[in-house]
Amino acid sequence: GAGVSQSPSNKVTEKGKDVELRCDPISGHTALYWYRQRLGQGLEFLIYFQGNSAPDKSGLPSDRFSAERTGESVSTLTIQRTQQEDSAVYLCASSPGTRSSEQYFGPGTRLTVT
Amino acid sequence: QKEVEQNSGPLSVPEGAIASLNCTYSDRGSQSFFWYRQYSGKSPELIMSIYSNGDKEDGRFTAQLNKASQYVSLLIRDSQPSDSATYLCVKWPGGGNKLTFGTGTQLKVEL
C-alpha cells in the first residue's frame, strides 16, 4: 500500500477486556514503532521492531502490553485487561531502516476504555 | 533535563510573518533531527530532516542545526493559517537507536 495503515480506526471497549490493534507498515520498511498519545499529550514510545533483531520493549508501560511482528510485515499490539488510563490514540510508524530513520505514521487507532 | 525540550506555546504569528520554532537537546554527540507537523486529531507528518550542522531549506521551511549550542530550529517563512499545527522536534542518535520526540510547540497563524 501507499502508506502505513492501522485497524481499527476506533475501538471502544469495556474495562477488563483485551484488545488487539493492527499495523501494516509500508512495504519494504524494516523498522516499525508503536507509540501512545493521550489527549493533549506528546508521543510516548512503546516498542520498536528492527528486522529480525530482538524488539526494544523498553517503553511498554506494564506487562498487560505486548506486541508481535511477523518478519517485516504486520504487527499487532495487544492490551490485556484494559484500564481507563489506557484510553489514547495508538500510533504505528515505519521507517526504511537504520540508514535513515525518517518515520512515517499511520492514522492511529483511537482506543476508549469505558 | 529532558532529552528534547520545546516550548509548548502557543506561538502566535500573523499571516505572512516568519514563524521561528526552537528546540534544545541534551546528550552531545552525533545527532540528527527531524521536524514533524501534527494537526489536531491527526497523526504526525514528517516535514524536514537535518543531519549536519548548518541550514537546510525546503520551500518555505528552513531547518537549522547548531551542535555546539545544542539547539535546532525550524523557520517557516510567509506563514499561512494552514501552518497552524503542533510542531514536534525529534532527535535521532543514528544507527539502530529509536527517535526521541519533544512534546511539541503549538503554532497559530492568525489572519
User: Region A73-92: what's the mean pLDDT?
Assistant: 97
Model confidence at B1, pLDDT cuts 50, 70, 90, reads: low
pLDDT at B75: 98
End-to-end CA distance of chain B: 36
Q: Is A104 on the interface with B (CB under 8 A)?
A: yes
Q: A6 CA to chain B: closest CA distance, Å?
A: 12
Q: Which residue has the higher pLDDT, B94 or B15?
A: B15
pLDDT in tens, B51-84: 999 999 999 999 999 998 999 999 999 999 999 9
Residue of B nearest to A39 (CA): B41
Closest in A42, A50, A102 to B101, CB measured: A42
What pairing do the DSSP bridges indicate for beta strands A10-13 and A109-113? parallel
pLDDT at A101: 72
pLDDT at A98: 60
Closest in A102, A104, A107 to B49, CB measured: A102
C-alpha cell at A25: 507498515
pLDDT in tens, A25-82: 999 898 899 999 998 888 999 999 988 888 989 999 999 999 999 888 899 999 999 9
Kindly list the residues from chain B whose CB atom is less than 8 angstroms away from the CB atom of residue A53.
Answer: 96
Note whether B96 contacts A98, CB cutoff 8 Å: yes
CA-nearest of B37, B92, B70, B10 to A96 is B92
Return the bridge partners of B28, or none: none
Q: A17 CA to chain B: closest CA distance, Å?
A: 25
pLDDT at B100: 86
Q: Is A107 on the interface with B (CB under 8 A)?
A: yes
Model confidence at B48, pLDDT cuts 50, 70, 90, reads: very high
- Give, in order, the Cα–Cα distances in Å from B70 to each of A32, A35, B8, B92, B100: 28, 26, 18, 13, 15
**How many beta carbons lie within 10 A of that of residue B79, not counting itself?**
21
CA-nearest of A79, A90, A74 to A32 is A74
pLDDT at A83: 97
pLDDT at A42: 86
**How many beta carbons lie within 10 A of that of residue A58, not counting itself?**
10
Kindly list the residues from chain A whose CB atom is less than 8 angstroms away from the CB atom of residue B42.
Answer: 107
